[in-house]
């Protein structure tokens, strides 16, 4: 892949010098909108770009190479610890994460609002800040933060606040109420399952938190030592990224129209029902007889009454009985009725039982045939009554 015509270095220089030009105006604007001073330039933004471009051509930035990128942030004096932190804007072939820009800063750089200091302080013990510096799951945090509540410092909420709220809005169906407004990835089982890696930023997995905190502390020390933030390699962590995790549902992702989603949902449901109807997979049921050397399978859908079933079973297993109660010969349909059947059942040594879905052994014949569809009967067995 060839490099584009302008070098990455030049781009970042251009960009940084562009922002340098704008920055004084923007900063003052943030403070006092009424004293907006762009009126002197018209059209304001275009003017700035044009100005800068002509300046760029004659000479590069007079400061030492590599300064330009760092300078971008040093220009804006932060009163907090991270004022000394700098990120490189340069294009790194490996796609290093540009941490500075992903730092928990809301608003234009250079603005020095005093109330932001406590949150931006890297020494803050709150997990949220540490994690935000190493956004393996970049910046979901920031988007998850709604407007600040009174009493909480500035506009960042504590981690516990965030999770509480998020859990409140999650309605347990993998869907967020439309008015929730928080687009957060949540695991469908909001439990702190430490073994499971989710890409939920609120770090419902304890393992994730631990990992990031460790790395966070390491980098913190380094940052304080050298005054520079190391860019963080995303590659290592990304290999873990795609590991199948617990189901996490994000609003509107994957991007499928609700019409299609609903249709697919009912399609799969209908398919399961219809497959049963069309006999795609006939409901075979295992039947065992005590003492018989092998089991048989019967297709329940071929019978319509218990009588048929028991006569068929009797035929199947007839060779194993010793002809008691004339069970073999008298299994003709004409002479059979419900009462006879019951007599036979009670008289013979064998009864038909089945194990239902609760795991209980039930006597065949109590429930009307129609209601006991294939899904309900687990297994049938002939058992000798004591």
Partner 1 sequence: MLGLTLESIFLMKVMQSFPEEALEHVLSFVDSHRDRNSVSLVCKAWYEADRWCRRQLFIGNCYAVSPAIVTRRFRDIRSLTIKGKPHFADYNLVPEGWGAHALPWIMAMAEAYPGLEELRMKRMVVSDEALELIGKCFRNFRVLVLCCCDGLSTDGLASIAANCRNLRVLDLLESVVIDLRGNWISYFPDSYTSLESLNISCLESEIPLSALERLLDRCPNLKYLTVNRSVPLEKLATLMDKAPQLTDLGTGTFMSEPRLELLTRLEGAFSRCKGLKNLSGLWDVAPSYLPVLYPVCSGLTCLNLSYASIRCPDLIKLLSHCRNLQRLWVLDYIEDRGLEVLASLCKDLQELRVFPSEPYDQDPNIALTEQGLVSVAVGCPKLQSVLYFCHRMSNKALVTIARSRPTLTRFRLCIIQPRCPDYITQEPFDEGFGAIVEHCKDLKRLSLSGLITDRVFQYIGTYGKKIEMLSLAFAGNTDLGLHYVLSGCKNLKKLEIRDCPFGDRALLVNATKLETMRSLWMSSCQVSYRACQLLGQRMPRLNVEVIHENGSPESGSEECTVEHLYVYRTVAGPRADAPGFVWTMRCSPE
Count of beta carbons in the 10 Å neighbourhood of residue 158: 13
Query: Residue 111 contacts by C-beta under 8 Å, 6 or more apart in sequence?
Result: 27, 30, 31, 76
Report angle CA 109, 124, 229 to the nearest 5 degrees.
55
Which secondary structure element, helix H or strand E, spans residue 117, and what is its range?
Answer: helix 117-120
Q: Is 199 in the site for partner 1 (CB under 8 A)?
A: yes
Q: Which of residues 86-105 bind partner 1 (CB under 8 A)?
A: 89, 91, 94-95, 97-98, 101-102
Closest to 167 in 3D by CA, of 182, 147, 148:
182
> In the set 51, 77, 171, 235, which binds partner 1 (CB under 8 A)?
235
| Binding piece for partner 1, criterion CB under 8 A, among 60-68, 261-269, 332-340, 374-382 | 261-269
> In the set 33, 125, 172, 293, which binds partner 1 (CB under 8 A)?
33
Count of beta carbons in the 10 Å neighbourhood of residue 103: 22
CA distance 198 to 240: 10
Minimum Å gap between C-beta 228 and partner 1 is 17
Closest to 327 in 3D by CA, of 309, 308, 341, 306:
341
Q: Which of residues 271-310 bind partner 1 (CB under 8 A)?
A: 271, 274, 277-278
Judged by CB, which is closer to partner 1: 44, or 374? 44
Q: Which of residues 156-195 bind partner 1 (CB under 8 A)?
A: 174, 178-183, 185
Q: Is 139 in the site for partner 1 (CB under 8 A)?
A: yes
| Binding piece for partner 1, criterion CB under 8 A, among 15-23, 297-305, 330-338, 344-352 | 15-23
Judged by CB, which is closer to partner 1: 57, or 242? 242
Q: Is 31 in the site for partner 1 (CB under 8 A)?
A: no
- The beta strand positions in 210-319, using DSSP E, are 248-249, 284-289, 296-299
What SS3 state is found at 152?
coil
Q: Which of residues 103-132 bind partner 1 (CB under 8 A)?
A: 106-109, 111, 113, 115-116
Q: Which of residues 203-232 bind partner 1 (CB under 8 A)?
A: none
Q: Is 28 in the site for partner 1 (CB under 8 A)?
A: no
> In the set 53, 160, 270, 337, which binds partner 1 (CB under 8 A)?
270
> In the set 255, 293, 323, 375, which binds partner 1 (CB under 8 A)?
255
Q: Is 43 in the site for partner 1 (CB under 8 A)?
A: yes
Q: Is 257 in the site for partner 1 (CB under 8 A)?
A: yes
DSSP string for 130-145? HHHHS-SSTTHHHHH-
Inter-residue contact 153 to 119 (CB < 8 Å): yes
Q: Which of residues 56-75 bind partner 1 (CB under 8 A)?
A: none
Judged by CB, which is closer to partner 1: 145, or 229? 145
Minimum Å gap between C-beta 204 and partner 1 is 16
Sign of CA dihedral 57, 60, 66, 68: negative
Burial state string for 15-47 with b = 16 or more CB within 10 A and e = fewer than 16: ebbbbbbbbebbeebeeeeeeeebeeeeeeeee
> In the set 121, 192, 207, 251, which binds partner 1 (CB under 8 A)?
251
Q: Which of residues 311-340 bind partner 1 (CB under 8 A)?
A: none
Inter-residue contact 72 to 61 (CB < 8 Å): no
Q: Is 244 in the site for partner 1 (CB under 8 A)?
A: yes
Q: Is 145 in the site for partner 1 (CB under 8 A)?
A: yes
């Amino acid at each position: 892949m060839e490099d584009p015509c302008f070098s990455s270095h030049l781009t970042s220089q251009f960009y940084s010098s562009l922002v340098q030009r704008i920055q004084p105006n923007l900063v003052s604007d943030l403070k006092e909108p009424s004293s907006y001073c762009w009126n002197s330039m018209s059209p304001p933004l275009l003017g700035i770009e044009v100005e800068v471009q002509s300046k760029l051509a004659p000479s590069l930035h007079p400061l030492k190479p590599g300064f330009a990128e760092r300078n971008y942030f040093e220009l804006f004096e932060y009163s907090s610890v991270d004022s000394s932190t700098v990120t490189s804007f340069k294009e790194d072939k490996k796609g290093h994460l540009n941490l500075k820009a992903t730092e928990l800063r809301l608003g234009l750089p250079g603005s020095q609002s005093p109330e932001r200091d406590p949150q931006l302080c890297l020494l803050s013990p709150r997990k949220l800040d540490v994690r935000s510096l190493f956004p393996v799951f970049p910046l979901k945090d920031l988007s998850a933060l709604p407007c600040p509540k009174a009493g909480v410092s500035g506009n960042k909420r504590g981690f516990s606040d965030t999770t509480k709220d998020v859990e409140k809005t999650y309605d347990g169906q993998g869907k967020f109420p439309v008015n929730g407004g928080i687009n957060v990835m949540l695991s469908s089982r909001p439990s702190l399952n430490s073994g499971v890696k989710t890409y939920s930023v609120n770090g419902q997995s304890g393992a994730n938190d631990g990992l990031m905190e460790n790395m966070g502390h390491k980098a913190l020390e380094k940052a304080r030592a050298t005054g520079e933030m190391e860019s963080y390699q995303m590659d290592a962590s990304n290999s873990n990224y795609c590991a199948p995790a617990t189901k996490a549902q994000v609003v509107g992702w994957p991007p499928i129209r609700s019409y299609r989603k609903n249709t697919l949902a009912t399609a799969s449901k209908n398919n399961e029902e219809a497959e049963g109807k069309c006999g795609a997979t006939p409901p075979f049921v295992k039947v065992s007889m005590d003492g018989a050397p092998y089991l048989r399978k019967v297709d329940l859908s071929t019978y319509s009454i218990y009588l048929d079933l028991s006569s068929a079973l009797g035929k199947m297993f007839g060779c194993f009985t010793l002809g008691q109660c004339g069970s073999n010969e008298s299994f003709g349909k004409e002479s059979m009725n419900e009462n006879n059947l019951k007599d036979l059942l009670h008289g013979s040594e064998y009864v038909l039982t089945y194990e239902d879905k609760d795991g209980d052994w039930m006597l065949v014949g109590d429930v009307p045939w129609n209601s006991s569809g294939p899904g309900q009967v687990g297994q049938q067995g002939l058992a000798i009554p004591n």
